[in-house]
Amino acid sequence: MATVISSVAEVCREAKRAARALAQIETATKDRALEAIAAALEARLEEILAANARDMQAGEEADIGEALLDRLRLDEERVAGIAQAVREIVSLPDPVGEVISGARLPNGLDLRKVRVPLGVVAVVYEARPNVTIDAAALCLKSGNAIVLRGSSSASHSNAALAQIAADAAEEAGLPRGSVSLLAGGGHEELAELATQQETVDLIIPRGGERLKEALQSVAKVPVIYAASGNCHIYVDSSADLEQAEAIVINAKTQRPGVCNAAETLLIHSACASELVPRLVRSLEAAGVVVRGDDRTRALVPGTAVEEAQEEDWATEYLSLTLAMRVVDSLEDAIEHVGRYGSGHSEAIVTADTGAARAFQRAVDAACVYVNASTRFTDGGEFGMGAEIGNSTQKLHARGPIGLRELCTFKYLVEGDGHVRG
């Protein structure tokens, strides 16, 4: 069961026991459990939607905003998509036991570097109940037990989804405690989870800077931050303007409340006089509020473009708001991205191969695009199945965190009576 244990420490201890068994379970059993979870989601759709409706009503009453409500909302299509994502994970190769490298050493020892599960992964997340299933499926497939800790805004949805996953996994042969959900006991519970270094091997937070700061102040467990996305698009002087317009509109409006949506647009001065008015018209028609620097606003007098403030360049809006700035060179664009970017996803639109390569080399981000929308930064789009989050760090996991990123490795060494002289 997902929620029957009240103590954080006991939840984590049971997860640790489950993890030891999970690490030895064959792929077929794990896949059977995931198929059972997908089927259970479809069979218990009404239960899931009823729980989500309670969260949606509370969110509307609390006026949490359209971006968060969109993240929170579940409907029949979205639940079907979550179930399909689980089945896609079933179809992916099991990373556990994969030989990364191997060799016979000069002394005759056989050495293999092999992927193994991390153990217990805790995922702390805000507002998006689909993470409950995405994260659980990825952890189970990669042989890890998972401890989930969602936000109070999605408490009913998360409880229903975690219970369904836990029940289905256990009935399919996975150990009890493979999927656990903490009850959402506030900052004290988060702090307690972050100090369970004897049982929790990794914490992955999915949320804003406040969640990141809250964990940084207390965490003793290793943390990979699936952090915010202050993503940029730079339109170079040689860009195809029709292509640029399509990319910008998609990156900003296709789903503005997610971390890979564009938040700032940089336009080279050589094409700004033509492109800025064109883009402002298209963006405003799509309901986007544009905040521009002085040069941008001078190119569109009489429009509703607001004056950009310094804080706009560092803001992840997660809404239909876009900051726009005119720059004089590729170097200026790279400098701006380096100063304000969060290391998530950055894009250049250009017909100049040299400019594209310079941007790719100089920009420090998990994902760097040439002539494509930033919205593709996603485990599913990258062929990794669903993802737990997008890491902006430089540790073993960077970008979408999928199956392989939920593994570590061990060295297996075989000899024949070898002793070291």
- What CA–CA distance (Å, rounded) separates 404 from 122? 16
Between strands 110-117 and 99-104, the pairing is antiparallel
Tokens matching residue 223:
């943390």
Which residue has 């060799």 as its token pair? 103
Q: How confident is the model at residue 227 (pLDDT cuts 50, 70, 90)?
A: low
Q: Which domains does the chain have, with CATH numbers?
A: 8-226+388-414 (3.40.605.10), 231-376 (3.40.309.10)
pLDDT at 319 > cutoff 80: yes
pLDDT tens track for 112-131: 999 999 999 999 988 789 99
Query: How far is 357 from 232, CA to CA, in rounded Å?
Result: 17
Record the pTM.
0.85
Given this model, what pLDDT does residue 185 score? 64
Section 149-161 average pLDDT: 94
Tell me which of 169-183, 253-267, 290-304, 375-389 is least confident. 375-389
Mean pLDDT, the chain, rounded, equals 94
Sign of CA dihedral 163, 153, 206, 259: positive
Tell me how far apart the alpha carbons of residues 107 and 417 are, in angstroms, rounded to a whole number: 12
